[in-house]
């Protein structure tokens, strides 16, 4: 397997563009490329585009390249317009294509542009170096913008997180590791942290099917549920670290049956055994060997549930109850008893096939 190519964050692009603009503003010279050292210690050398001189400012664009990471911001231009200021220091603001923060719990306060702390420090560091180079004792005003940023943001988690109107200028190391797992886990943690500000009850679902089922069954808002994808165990660990007290876990039988077998990453590349786990639970519920064999021969869990129901609706009900109990057991074990766990298991064909007692109270009191 070939080594995946690293990329550079929007924060690195913003810092490079700002450094180039400040250099050209103070020197009067033209540059076609610039280099910075990222917080990770890796050098970022990039071409400069769309250099525009005004009476009191210079605007420079840097092309965002996320490497081999599936990053929707790759291909966008990060623009920095830098002007001189009588006030010492560096003032950083945003413009078109950069979102504003509308909810608490994020890196920046409500109302501020979503330009995170590390990129702000990177920009200040680079401009401090330029000031020292030219013995400049004044300050800078930096205005960042991203043409096309508002459209790109619709493909990100930003609207759910409460960042409206554009993308975020982010990054802690300055580089983009070509793995989407870490970025997704960071986003899950951030959204969970926000939810903890208003409640000690966490509503968790692997995907949209479970969330839609909860909306239909209980009338709750779909956004009440945090979507954790396949990272069940990681999400439980995060919930414990954030001191949640109660957890309602809801989802489709195709995902949740894996959790009933103690599987904490439900991606098919990590583990499957859906039908094996379901067949064993059918036996525990009182089904016979023939039913278990037929379950093992199914293509998916929906087909298997039909076989169980045809044998006996009571057997399906008992199977669902045992699935729920086992899910609660394994999630509680992962949380080391720190969470009061309840679950709801949903089927496309049969609707809710299992729910913990007291689930309705979660919605009333959560």
Would 33 be classed as within a structural domain?
Answer: yes
The last residue of a domain, from among 146, 176, 206: 176
| 170 & 234 share domain | no
Structure confidence at residue 104 as a pLDDT band (50, 70, 90): confident
- Give me the pLDDT at residue 1, please: 42
- Give me the pLDDT at residue 267, please: 85
Would 148 be classed as within a structural domain?
Answer: yes
Question: What average pLDDT does the segment 57-74 reach?
Answer: 89
| 71 & 193 share domain | no
Would 305 be classed as within a structural domain?
Answer: yes
Other residues' Cβ atoms within 10 Å of the Cβ of residue 68 = 16
DSSP assignment of 247-315 equals EEEEEEHHHHHHHTTT-SB--TTT---HHHHHHHHHHHTT--HHHHHHHHT-SSHHHHHHHHHHH-HHH
| 249 & 157 share domain | no
**Angle at which helices 289-296 and 274-284 pack, to 10 degrees?**
170
Measured between its terminal Cα atoms, the distance across the chain in Å is: 47
Structure confidence at residue 340 as a pLDDT band (50, 70, 90): very high
For the chain, how big is the Rg over CA atoms in Å?
26
| 168 & 234 share domain | no
| 253 & 167 share domain | no
| 34 & 150 share domain | yes
Residue 44 has pLDDT above 80, yes or no: yes
Question: What average pLDDT does the segment 169-187 reach?
Answer: 79
64: domain CATH number is: 3.30.2110.10
Question: What average pLDDT does the segment 193-210 reach?
Answer: 89
Count of domains forming the chain? 2
Closest CA to 93 of 106, 82, 84: 82
- Give me the pLDDT at residue 319, please: 97
Question: What average pLDDT does the segment 35-40 reach?
Answer: 95
Query: Tell me: the pLDDT tens digits for 202-225?
Result: 999 998 777 788 888 877 777 788
Kind of pairing between the strands at 33-37 and 43-47: antiparallel
- Give me the pLDDT at residue 365, please: 55
Residue 202 structural domain: 189-365
Query: Tell me: the pLDDT tens digits for 5-37?
Result: 788 999 999 999 999 999 999 999 999 999 999
Question: What average pLDDT does the segment 146-165 reach?
Answer: 90
346 touches 252 (CB < 8 A): yes
pTM equals 0.69
| 221 & 309 share domain | yes
| 195 membership: H or E segment, kind and range | helix 180-196
- Give me the pLDDT at residue 157, please: 77
Other residues' Cβ atoms within 10 Å of the Cβ of residue 329 = 14
Closest CA to 350 of 220, 226, 250, 252: 252
Other residues' Cβ atoms within 10 Å of the Cβ of residue 127 = 24
Would 36 be classed as within a structural domain?
Answer: yes
Dihedral (Cα; 186, 192, 195, 196), 10-degree rounding: -110
| 207 & 333 share domain | yes
């Amino acid at each position: 397997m070939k080594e995946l190519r690293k990329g550079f964050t929007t924060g690195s692009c913003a810092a490079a563009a700002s450094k180039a603009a400040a250099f050209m503003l103070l020197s009067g010279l033209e540059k076609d490329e610039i280099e910075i050292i990222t917080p990770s210690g890796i050098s970022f050398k990039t071409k400069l585009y769309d250099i525009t001189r005004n009476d009191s400012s210079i605007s420079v664009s840097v092309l965002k390249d996320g490497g081999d990471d599936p990053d929707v911001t790759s291909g966008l231009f990060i623009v920095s317009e830098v002007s001189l200021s009588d006030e010492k220091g560096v003032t950083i603001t945003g413009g078109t294509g950069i979102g504003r923060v509308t909810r608490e719990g994020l890196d920046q306060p409500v109302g501020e542009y979503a330009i995170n702390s590390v990129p702000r420090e990177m920009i200040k560091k680079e401009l401090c170096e330029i000031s020292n180079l030219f013995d400049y004792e004044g300050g800078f005003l930096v205005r960042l913008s991203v043409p096309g940023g508002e459209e790109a943001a619709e493909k990100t988690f930003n609207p759910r997180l409460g960042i409206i109107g554009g993308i975020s200028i982010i990054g802690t190391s300055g580089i983009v590791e070509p793995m989407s797992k870490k970025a997704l886990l960071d986003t899950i943690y951030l959204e969970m942290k926000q939810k903890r500000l208003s409640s000690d009850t966490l509503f968790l679902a692997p995907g949209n099917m479970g969330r839609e089922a909860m909306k239909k069954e209980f009338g709750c808002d779909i956004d009440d549920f945090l979507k954790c994808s396949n990272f069940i165990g990681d999400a439980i660990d995060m919930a414990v670290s954030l001191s949640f007290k109660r957890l309602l876990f809801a989802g489709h039988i195709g995902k949740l049956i894996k959790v009933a077998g103690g599987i904490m990453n439900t991606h098919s590349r990590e583990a499957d055994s859906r039908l094996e786990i379901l067949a064993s639970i059918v036996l525990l519920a009182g089904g016979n060997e023939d039913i278990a064999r037929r379950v093992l021969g199914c293509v998916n869990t929906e087909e298997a549930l039909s076989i169980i129901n045809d044998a006996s609706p009571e057997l399906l009900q008992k199977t669902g109850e045992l699935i729920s109990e086992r899910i609660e057991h394994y999630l509680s074990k992962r949380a080391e008893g720190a969470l009061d766990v309840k679950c709801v298991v949903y089927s496309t064909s049969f609707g809710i096939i299992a729910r913990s007692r007291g689930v309705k109270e979660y919605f009333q009191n959560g």
